[in-house]
Structure 1
C-alpha cells in the first residue's frame, strides 16, 4: 500500500481516499439507477425529460448509466422534472422499497382534507386541547346526569345537551321508535353521529349520555378523548328509586328480578365507567350537595380551562 506524508510530516495510506472514492462511485451509480427508475415509472422518455429539465439527452444517458458526476443544481432540475424529491435520489434509503417514503409520496398527492386527517392521527393535539371545555357525564339511569348536568350548565354558563335529544332531532322520531325501527345497531350508529356533531358544534358544553354508550368502544373512546368525562355513581337501590320517582315504573313492572339485573348491569360496566377521568358518588346526598361537589370537582380538575 502506498503512503503519503501529511502536513504534519506523518505517514498515512491511500486507504481513506480509496474508501471515499468508492463511496462517491456508489452514490453516482445509485443516483443514476433511481433517476432511470423514476423516469420509467412516470413513463417519461429520456428526450422529454431532457426538454423539461434542460439537461442534454447524452448527459442523462451517462447519468443513468452511473457514469455522470452530475452537479447538485442539475440534479435538482432533473428531480423537479420527475416530480421527485432530490433527497430520494441521493439518500441511502430506497424510495421504491421504503414504506415511509411511499407514504410521504401519497401524502403529497392527497387532498388537503386527507392531509389534515393524517396529521391529526400522526400528531394529535394535546389531550387538554382536544377536550376543550366539553364535559360529559356518564353512568346508569338515575345517577343524576340530566338533573345535575342541567344545573351545572346553568352555573357555568355552558349549554347542556342530552345526547338522546340530538339523536331524536336527527332521526325525526323518539328514541323508542328509533330502536323499534332501526334496532340497536341503527341506534348506535345515530348515537356515534350525534357525538361527532356536538363535538363539531360545541367548544364548551355539558353532555349527558345514555348509560349503555360505554359498551360501544369507538364511541366511548371518542368521548374519553374529546370530553372531560365524569362518572356519576349511586347505589343500585338509589338508581332504581330515582327512576321510579320520575314516574317511570318500567324497570320494576312485571319483572321481580329487575333489581338483580340492574346490579348485574352495573357490575359489568363498572370497569368501563371507571375509565372516566373523575368520579362522583351521589348516593345519599341532597341534590344541592351533589351539585356543589360536582362544581368543585370540575374546578379542581381544571375541566373548564
Structure 2
C-alpha cells in the first residue's frame, strides 16, 4: 500500500481514496504530456488542433498542462486529430520508447516505395486483391476531387461516389445538419460506416472523400488498404479561390486569418496525404488538363486493370 508522511514525519499508509486521486492526477498529467508531444512532433499549432478536433484552445491548453479533466469523448476527438489511438494517449508504458512507436515513426519518414514494401510484407492479401479496381481521391477542400472524380468516372464509364452524398442519403439530412446534430465524432462514425458500405457495393469505382478523413486513423487505413488512393494537391491560394468560385464564402467570411489557418491545416495534414499511393498536382491547370492527367495516371498505374 502507498505510504505518506504526516506532519510529525511519521510514515503511514495512504487511504484508498488518496491513492486513487494520485492515480487520476498521474493519468491526466501523462495524457497532457503525450498530447503536447504528439502535437509538437507533427508541427501542429494548438489553434489548428482545436479546429481539427472541435476542442477549444483553452481546453487544449489545460489538457497539455495536466490540468484538464477532459471527457472521454473530447479526448477521442483529440486522438483522432493527432492520428493516434486513444489508448496510446492513456497507457502506462512510455510510447516514445516502444517498438511500435519506433516502427510507426520510421514508417512515416520512409519513402512511398518503402512504405508499400512494408505493407506488402505485413499484409496476408495482395494490394491488388484488396483494392480491386477502386480509386479514391483525397486532398484538401478545393483540390478538385468532386469535379475531377465525376468527370473521370464518366470518361472511364465507371461509377463515381462522393462520400458526403452517401452520408446524406443514408442519414436523410445534409452534412451540415449531421454535424450540428451529432457533432464531429458522430459525423466521423457515419463516415466510417459509409466507407464500409461502398466497399461492399463497388469493386470498380471512383470515390471522393472529405479533406479531413485522413485525420481518422482507422477510416484512412481502410481507404489506403482497399482503394488506389490519389492525392490531388494544389497551392493554398488555389484551394481558397476554387472554394470561393463555387459560391462558398464561408472560408473567408468574418475570418481575416482564414488563409493562415488553411496553410496550417495543409501543413499538418501533408504527411497524411502523402501516404496516398499516387499524387497529382493540379496547380495552374485547367479542369480539362487536370482530367487528362488524372485519367492518364489511373491508366498508367494500372488502377483499373
What is the TM-score when the length of structure 1 is the normalising length?
A: 0.59
Aligned twin of 2:45: none
- In the alignment, structure 1 residue 284 sits paired with structure 2 residue 274: no
Q: Give 1:304's aligned residue.
A: 304
1:180 is matched with 180
Shift of residue 169, structure 1, vs aligned partner: 1.2
Q: Deviations over 1:82-130 (max 9, x none)?
A: xxxxxxxxxxxxxxxxxxxxxxxxxxxxxxxxxxxxxxxx974211111
Partner of 2:138: 138
CA distance in 1 between partners of 2:277 and 2:127 (Å) = 12
Match of 1:228 in 2: 228
Q: How does 1:161-176 map to 2 (within 5 A)?
A: 161-176=161-176
The aligned residue for residue 274 of structure 1 is: 274
- In 2, the alpha carbon distance for the partners of 1:124 and 1:248 equals 45
Structure 1: runs of 5+ lacking an equivalent: 1-121
Name whichever of 124-133 and 268-277 sits farther off.
124-133
Query: Segments of 4+ in structure 1 off by > 4 A?
Result: none
Q: Distance in 2 between matches of 1:123 and 1:173?
A: 38
Q: Does 1 or 2 have the higher relative contact order (CA < 8 Å, sep 6+)?
A: 2
Larger CA deviation: 236-245 vs 161-170: 161-170
**Structure whose CA Rg is larger:** 1
Cα deviations across residues 255-294 of structure 1 (Å, max 9, x unaligned)?
Answer: 0000000000000000000000000000000111111111
Give the whole-Å Cα distance in 2 for the aligned partners of 1:217 and 1:179: 19
Answer yes or no: is 1:243 the counterpart of 2:240. Answer: no
Q: Which residue of 2 aligns with 1:159?
A: 159
- The structural deviation recorded for 1:193 is 0.2
Pair 156,181 (structure 1): closer, same or farther in 2 beyond 3 Å: same
Structure 2: distance between partners of 1:246 and 1:254 = 18
Secondary structure at 1:254 match in 2: coil
- Structure 2 length normalisation: TM-score? 0.59
Q: Post-superposition shift, 1:218?
A: 0.2
Query: For residues 302 and 286 of structure 1, what CA distance do their matches in structure 2 show?
Result: 24
1:208-246 deviations in Å (ceiling 9; x for gaps)? 000000000000000000000000000000000000000
> Structure 1 residues 247 and 124, CA, compared in 2 at 3 Å: closer, same or farther?
same
Q: Which residue of 2 aligns with 1:111?
A: none
1:183-198 equivalences in 2 (<5 Å): 183-198=183-198
Q: Could you say what secondary structure the match of 1:238 adopts?
A: helix
Q: How many residues get paired?
A: 184
C-alpha separation in 2, matches of 1:171 and 1:242: 28
